[in-house]
């Protein structure tokens, strides 16, 4: 780990050398620093902060004092002064809290447990349940991973599905669904970026309407979801995944009895909770979205000057 930190520090200090290079590609340097730090340190916040610091150094000619002083009046305060950005921030925090309530309520776990109780915990059925739950938790990519991962992990282990395969299913549904959903924290961020781009380009268009038109052309997300369905239905295990699944099958034959008893007790605790703890909040969210969009459009039509 010490060597990784050393590599990140050297990469960040290289920003002073990048400043002297007169080339258009140097604009990508802050992103390079951020991504490298995230991969080497496995710390997202640290990587983003280092990338932002590298960008500030490039903008201020390598002067760290000037970079720090200019950060607040030139970058932070204008962003926080925008009502649109504040609404996106509030929207993201509210949805994050909503996801936490769903997790604590146990409704998602109970809903999946009821579906799995009819027919046993077969490996393929658990995978399809994780896929379906990933589609239901459309409102936030990170919350999707958290809810689906925590809810399905005990069931997947009991059914003999490896953690690696479940990680593939959870990751493929979470980000892809959040990107094409009508409402999600990621969509809020996308709309803010679209709005900023339209303002810079001098184009008069509605960000949300433009986003809706772009959904059918988001081929990466659609192809990811389709490929995942094909992989589950055909039970494909390609490359290292085949070896992982073989190891998982060997481990399943060596399970101890007390582990099985512990899983049964966990399943009983999930069954004791009501699925309505998930159905009602999700239904209210979707209904509130539709009503809010209608009222917002109606007010804009009646009072266009507001």
pLDDT score recorded for residue 251: 61
Asked if 80 and 86 touch (Cβ cutoff 8 Å), the reply is: yes
Its pTM stands at: 0.58
Residues spanned by the domain of 75: 2-80
Q: How far is CA 91 from CA 51, 139, 152, 297, in A?
A: 25, 11, 27, 19
Same domain, 55 and 153: no
Distance of CA 250 to the CA centre of its chain: 33
- Vertex 158: Cα angle to 154 and 162 (nearest 5): 80
Same domain, 61 and 88: no
Token pair 């282990």 is at which residue? 157
Distance CA 196, CA 45 (A): 24
Same domain, 102 and 232: yes
How many folded domains does the chain comprise?
A: 2
Domain boundary, last residue among 80, 104, 120: 80
Domain boundary, last residue among 32, 65, 80: 80
Distance CA 295, CA 288 (A): 10
Asked if 130 and 172 touch (Cβ cutoff 8 Å), the reply is: no
Distance CA 182, CA 211 (A): 9
Same domain, 159 and 243: yes
Same domain, 100 and 15: no
Ordered per-residue pLDDT tens for the chain, 306 residues: 678 888 888 988 888 888 888 778 888 999 999 999 998 988 888 999 999 999 999 988 888 899 888 888 888 888 888 777 787 777 767 766 776 777 677 776 676 666 556 555 577 888 888 888 888 777 777 777 777 777 777 777 777 788 888 888 888 888 888 888 877 767 777 887 888 888 888 877 788 888 888 888 889 999 999 999 998 888 887 777 777 767 766 665 555 444 444 544 554 454 445 767 777 887 787 787 778 767 776 776 676 555
3-class DSSP state of 249: helix
CA contacts within 13 A on the Cβ side of 177: 24
Same domain, 88 and 62: no
Same domain, 158 and 259: yes
- Vertex 127: Cα angle to 125 and 131 (nearest 5): 115
Distance of CA 260 to the CA centre of its chain: 32
pLDDT score recorded for residue 257: 41
Tokens linked to 164 = 């690696």
Domain boundary, last residue among 80, 99, 125: 80
**Closest by Cα among 180, 242, 243, 186 to 213:** 180
Cα end-to-end distance, the chain, whole Å? 55
Same domain, 144 and 275: yes
Burial of 46 (0-12, 13-18, 19+ CB in 10 A): middle
Distance CA 85, CA 196 (A): 10
**Closest by Cα among 53, 42, 45 to 11:** 53
Distance CA 143, CA 165 (A): 19
Same domain, 139 and 244: yes
pLDDT score recorded for residue 256: 45
Same domain, 68 and 213: no
Asked if 143 and 92 touch (Cβ cutoff 8 Å), the reply is: no
Same domain, 184 and 40: no
Distance CA 98, CA 94 (A): 6
Same domain, 165 and 126: yes
3-class DSSP state of 236: coil
pLDDT score recorded for residue 293: 66
């Amino acid at each position: 780990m010490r060597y990784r930190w050393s590599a990140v520090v050297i990469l960040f200090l290289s920003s002073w050398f990048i400043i002297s290079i007169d080339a258009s590609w140097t604009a990508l340097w802050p992103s390079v620093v951020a991504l490298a730090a995230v991969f080497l340190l496995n710390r997202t916040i640290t990587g983003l902060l280092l990338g932002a610091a590298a960008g500030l150094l490039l903008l201020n000619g390598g002067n760290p004092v000037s970079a720090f002083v200019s950060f607040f009046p030139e970058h932070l305060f204008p962003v926080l002064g925008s009502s649109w950005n504040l609404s996106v921030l509030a929207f993201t925090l509210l949805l994050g809290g909503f996801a936490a309530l769903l997790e604590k309520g146990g409704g998602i776990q109970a809903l999946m447990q009821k579906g799995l109780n009819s027919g046993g915990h077969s490996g393929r059925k658990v995978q399809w349940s994780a896929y379906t739950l990933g589609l239901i938790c459309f409102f936030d990519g990170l919350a999707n991973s958290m809810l689906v991962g925590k809810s399905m992990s005990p069931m997947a282990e009991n059914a003999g599905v490896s953690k690696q395969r479940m990680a593939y299913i959870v990751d493929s549904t979470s980000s892809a669904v959040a990107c094409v959903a009508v409402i999600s924290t990621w969509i809020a961020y996308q709309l803010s970026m679209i709005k900023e781009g339209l303002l810079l380009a001098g184009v008069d268009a509605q960000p949300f309407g433009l986003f809706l038109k772009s959904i059918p052309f988001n081929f990466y997300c659609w192809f990811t979801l389709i490929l995942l369905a094909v992989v589950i239905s055909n039970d494909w295990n390609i490359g290292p995944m085949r070896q992982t699944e073989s190891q998982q099958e060997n481990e399943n034959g060596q399970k101890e009895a007390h582990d099985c008893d512990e899983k049964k007790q966990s399943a009983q605790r999930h069954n004791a909770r009501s699925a309505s703890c998930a159905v009602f909040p999700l239904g209210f969210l979707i209904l509130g979205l539709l009503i809010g969009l209608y009222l917002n459009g109606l007010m804009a039509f009646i009072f266009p000057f507001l």
